[in-house]
Amino acid sequence: MNENLFEAKYDVTKKSKLKRFYESNKILIFSSIFVLVIFIGSFNFYLANKEKKKILLSENYVQAKIYLENGNKNKAISILKKVIFANDSTYSTLCFFLILNQNLVTDYKELSILFDHLLDNNKFEKEIKNLLIYKKALFNSNFISESELLEDIKPLLNKETLWRPHALLLIGDYFLSKKEYIKAKEFYAQILLINNLQKDFYDQARSKLVFISNE
């Protein structure tokens, strides 16, 4: 019986403490609940808007391709640029590559602006970003100075990435085209030292080193 009495008193005490806590903190409790509800609602609204934006950008991308197929190049370019500046890592990149691969914009300064905007305003998986860096250097290699080209490609030259062999070959070919054989040899030689190198890169670098040695 004493045990039952103790449990009853303990239960009343606990309820009293909870009641006092509630009375003392009810404004804070209601405020916290209100903030949580607002947060959940805002987050759900954000997700819904994000999904809606993705769908719209997808439709714009498809529409641009339809315009291209029908020969309406100017309308296609207008839509593609709009999607690029929407800063979506998926569809902005797809639209940019469509412009690049279809040679829709030929002015290298304008393309450089698009490259820079894409790289500066989107979060990419590492190798996608490295691909964009390589593509930018590849495109600009015919228009910019040696120092500018090396600065553009620098992030790929000294780190582990799928695009390092491409970058080294690009710079080697750049110097080879200018008959700067000592510089070209340096970059081709680095290709041969890469572990698990694809045979095609090995063969290209090796044949160009042989060519240089015969000059």
Verify that 118 and 26 share a domain, yes or no: yes
Range of the domain at 148: 133-215
Q: Which two tokens stand for residue 82?
A: 């709009």
Domain boundary, last residue among 103, 123, 143: 123
Verify that 108 and 137 share a domain, yes or no: no
Distance of CA 192 to the CA centre of its chain: 29
Verify that 93 and 152 share a domain, yes or no: no
Q: What is the largest CA-CA distance in the chain?
A: 108
Distance of CA 38 to the CA centre of its chain: 31
Any domain includes 41: yes
Q: Which two tokens stand for residue 172?
A: 């080697």
Domain boundary, last residue among 77, 100, 123: 123
Q: Say which CATH number the domain at 212 has.
A: 1.25.40
Any domain includes 2: no
Any domain includes 195: yes
3-state secondary structure of 214: coil
Verify that 154 and 189 share a domain, yes or no: yes
Q: Which two tokens stand for residue 176?
A: 């080879």
Q: Which two tokens stand for residue 214?
A: 């015969």
Q: How many domains does the chain have?
A: 2
Under 8 Å CB-to-CB from 75, ≥6 apart: which residues? 64, 67
pLDDT tens for the 215 residues of the chain, in order: 444 444 444 444 545 655 565 566 656 555 655 555 555 555 444 444 656 778 888 899 999 999 999 999 999 999 999 999 998 988 999 999 999 889 999 888 898 899 999 988 888 888 888 999 999 999 888 888 999 999 999 999 988 899 999 999 999 999 999 999 999 999 999 999 998 899 999 999 999 999 998 87
Any domain includes 128: no
End-to-end alpha-carbon separation of the chain, Å? Answer: 108
Verify that 96 and 160 share a domain, yes or no: no
State the pLDDT at residue 154. 93
Any domain includes 180: yes
Yes or no: say if 153 and 137 are a contact pair by the CB < 8 Å rule. yes
Q: Which of 82, 156, 89 is nearest to 121 (CA)?
A: 89
Verify that 26 and 96 share a domain, yes or no: yes
Verify that 111 and 197 share a domain, yes or no: no
Any domain includes 47: yes
State the pLDDT at residue 37. 55
Q: How far apart are CA 180 and CA 16, in angstroms?
A: 88
3-state secondary structure of 9: helix
Domain boundary, last residue among 123, 155, 173: 123
pLDDT digits (tens, 9 = 90+) for 36-88: 555 555 544 444 465 677 888 889 999 999 999 999 999 999 999 999 999 89
State the pLDDT at residue 47. 42
Any domain includes 95: yes
Verify that 70 and 90 share a domain, yes or no: yes
